[in-house]
Amino acid sequence: MKATSTQQEILLMTGTSFANRQSEDKSGNDKSKNLSQRERLEEACWNGLLKEMLPEVFKEVDKEKELYLWHIKEASSFIELELAEFPEEKDSHLSLDPYVFLPVQFYS
């Protein structure tokens, strides 16, 4: 019997006031000043600020299962964050990513 795991996808829309506000550099790091808004937002996610940026998303997550950020995928108007207990292929039928579920929908 296959063990069940918890996976979570989050889409962060780029070019929005939320993304701009979250990507502002609070540390005063000179290196971050040369990065684009999207790159600063990705850096904030990799640096563990995701729970601080979106606390309401993590309220209902099972406390016994720690989710880790495994992958950030860039798209034209959003970045997709893939969180899971361990890296595993996601089910395309349940994905939030329109580039994943739309081709599947055409087959149905």
pLDDT of residue 80: 92
Question: Which residues form the domain of 34?
Answer: 7-107
Neighbours of 45 (CB within 10 A): 21
In a domain, 1, yes or no: no
pLDDT of residue 28: 54
In a domain, 48, yes or no: yes
In a domain, 50, yes or no: yes
- Token digits of residue 76: 């034209």
- Token digits of residue 81: 């964050």
Residue recorded with tokens 């999207």: 38
In a domain, 2, yes or no: no
pLDDT of residue 24: 66
Q: How far is 74 from 15, CA to CA, in rounded Å?
A: 13
Note whether 32 and 40 are within 8 A (CB). Answer: yes
In a domain, 37, yes or no: yes
pLDDT of residue 88: 82
Q: How many domains does the chain have?
A: 1
What are the per-10-residue average pLDDT scores of the chain (108 residues)? Answer: 76 85 60 80 90 82 77 91 86 78 58
